[in-house]
Amino acid sequence: MKKTPVDNTKDNRFELLRELLLAEDREKFESLSKEVIFREKLAKNVSPLMDEKILDLREKFPEYFGDTITETIKVQIRDSQDEVVEALYPIMGKLVKKAIVSEITKLTESVNKTVKEKFSIQEILKRFFKGKKNDADVVLQEVFEPIIEEVFIIEKDSGLLSGSYSRGNIADKDMVSGMLTAIKSFAEDAFSKEGQDLEDIKFETFQLSIQNFKSIYIAIACSGVLNATFKEELSDRINNLAEIILRDRSYLSDEERLNTLIFQKLIEE
Amino acid sequence: MIAKKVLLVGNFGVGKTSLIRRFVLNEFSEDYISTIGVRVSKKVVEYENETIKLMIWDVAGTSGNEKIPKAYFLGAHAAMFVFDVSREETYLTIDENLQMVKELSGLQNITIVGNKKDLLTQKELNKVIEQVSVNIDLITSAKENDNVEAAFMQLTAQTLN
């Protein structure tokens, strides 16, 4: 079969026509392509920097904007106090109310129980014959019962611990005795006048009473409400204990024996 | 167990606290020493078949001692005077300082320790030993744990004399 000759003139014309018709589109395509390539390149270079900056911003946000935000919040709160109070009041109010109700319930139960027990005819008669305590004292003492938590018998000068009693576990008793002696010496040196001794140290829920004798001092940590009657009784018991120890100094070199004596005279009685 | 109170005295910065740190771990916070001028640590040691509970009172610098309650020195069974071999001012008035510690504590013998030997060469150290007017019992380095145990053992021995 004879081959049909190629019509080059026709092909070229078709190419030319295409060139003419698509020239504008091609330009747009090239420009868009350049822009995409440029953006990709830019993104490649800028991305790590951006990530670094974002991380830095995240980490140091309070440093960069803390003051501004605080100031803004302050201004906002100052300018819209009513709204803030309105928003917080129900939440705070509920929490406070809940806490108070819980504590009052506990107190009521405790007072009820004590009143029931202490105001029986038997108890009233007992108090009548015993005298001394008034009714409020009796109830208060029962509700906020004072408890001896710790007892330390310490050599006055050296601060060495001779004997002790502890309801719970406290830090190293030898070191507590040493530091207590140091603090006592410091306070006496700084504030007292001629031979006066430190007698009380108060914490929030604890009271440390110190009774000083010639060569020893007895420190007692109590929790609860320490009324006059309790203090008086405790003081008597401490004096009795000290008398026994000072009459028989061998107690001071026998810790176990002294601990038993402390328990008998201060806790058991 | 026998309990004994021992004192560590000496100028500010001679390394008393570092010596104690090396010797014991059971101690109260550092803050006490700057607040009330003393801090108590405890170490139980065995010495000549005897178990001894050492209550170590680290008394703040003895220069300007008028500010430290005298009661800290009472009832002590032994004392160690520490000076810094690299600082002349800590041993120049050693006689005076020792006399004061003796008067306040009622102790006759005091263990004398020169600390921070790691900061001097042997030649410099020899010069310091010549310069110090009293007999030095031990030269220590708390940093390199050199002679620390020995110093406290000597102090323990002193409590039994």
Q: Where are the alpha helices (DSSP H) in chain A?
A: 8-59, 61-79, 81-118, 121-130, 135-143, 173-191, 228-247, 255-262
How much is the pLDDT for B105?
A: 92
In whole angstroms, what is the distance from residue A182 CA to residue A189 CA? 10
Share of chain A above pLDDT 70, in %: 85
Cα A202 from chain centroid (whole Å): 19
Confidence of residue A78 (pLDDT cuts 50, 70, 90): confident
Q: Which residues on adjacent β-strands are paired with residue B112? A: B81
In whole angstroms, what is the distance from residue B141 CA to residue A175 CA? 26
Interface of B with A in 39-78 (CB under 8 A): 39-42, 53, 55, 57, 69-72, 74-77
Nearest residue of A to residue B39, measured between CA atoms: A179
Subunit contact A182:B38, Cβ cutoff 8 A: yes
How much is the pLDDT for A152?
A: 94
Subunit contact A157:B41, Cβ cutoff 8 A: no
How much is the pLDDT for B28?
A: 60
Lowest mean pLDDT among A139-143, A162-166, B135-139: A139-143
Whether A216 contacts A140, CB under 8 Å: no
Whether A116 contacts A142, CB under 8 Å: no
In whole angstroms, what is the distance from residue A211 CA to residue A256 CA? 22
CB count in 10 Å sphere of residue B159: 19
How much is the pLDDT for B32?
A: 67
Residues of chain B contacting A188 with CB distance shorter than 8 Å: 69, 71
Lowest mean pLDDT among A68-72, A153-157, A237-241, B125-129: A68-72
Confidence of residue B118 (pLDDT cuts 50, 70, 90): very high
- What is the pLDDT of chain A when averaged over all its residues? 82
How much is the pLDDT for B158?
A: 92
- What is the pLDDT of chain B when averaged over all its residues? 87
Mutate to test the interface with A, among B7, B20, B38 (most CBs of A within 10 A): B38
Closest CA to B79 of B51, B57, B50: B57
Q: How far is B153 from chain A (nearest CA, A)?
A: 20
* Digit-coded pLDDT (tens) for B41-69: 899 999 988 899 999 999 887 555 457 78
Which amino acid type is present at position A45?
Answer: N
* Digit-coded pLDDT (tens) for B149-159: 999 999 999 99
Subunit contact A175:B40, Cβ cutoff 8 A: yes
Residues of chain B contacting A159 with CB distance shorter than 8 Å: 5, 40, 55, 57, 75
pTM of the model: 0.64
How much is the pLDDT for B46?
A: 92
Subunit contact A174:B75, Cβ cutoff 8 A: no
Residues of chain A contacting B71 with CB distance shorter than 8 Å: 157, 185, 188-189
Query: Average pLDDT in the B132-159 region?
Result: 92
| B37: contact with A, CB 8 A cutoff | yes
Closest CA to A213 of A251, A179, A176: A251
B79 pLDDT above the threshold of 90: yes
3-state secondary structure of B98: helix
Subunit contact B69:A186, Cβ cutoff 8 A: yes
Whether A202 contacts A193, CB under 8 Å: no
Query: Average pLDDT in the B17-21 region?
Result: 84
Confidence of residue A104 (pLDDT cuts 50, 70, 90): confident
- More confident of the two residues A120 and B59: B59
How much is the pLDDT for B63?
A: 55
Could you give the C-alpha distances from B111 to A41, B74, B77, in angstroms and in order? 77, 17, 12
| B38: contact with A, CB 8 A cutoff | yes
A136 pLDDT above the threshold of 60: yes
Interface of A with B (CB under 8 A): 155-161, 172, 174-175, 178-179, 182-183, 185-186, 188-190
A62 pLDDT above the threshold of 60: yes
Confidence of residue A217 (pLDDT cuts 50, 70, 90): very high
- More confident of the two residues A204 and B129: B129
In whole angstroms, what is the distance from residue B33 CA to residue A240 CA? 36
Q: How far is A172 from chain B (nearest CA, A)?
A: 9
Could you give the C-alpha distances from A246 to A163, A231, A232, A253, B95, in angstroms and in order? 13, 22, 21, 12, 39
A134 pLDDT above the threshold of 70: no
Match 């502890």 to its residue by tokens.
A166
Rounded to 5°, angle at Cα A45 from A42 and A49? 120
In whole angstroms, what is the distance from residue A80 CA to residue A83 CA? 5
Whether A127 contacts A219, CB under 8 Å: no
How much is the pLDDT for B76?
A: 94
Share of chain B above pLDDT 90, in %: 54
Query: Average pLDDT in the A60-82 region?
Result: 83
Of B28, B72, B77, the CB nearest to A185: B72
CB count in 10 Å sphere of residue B42: 19
Subunit contact B26:A175, Cβ cutoff 8 A: yes
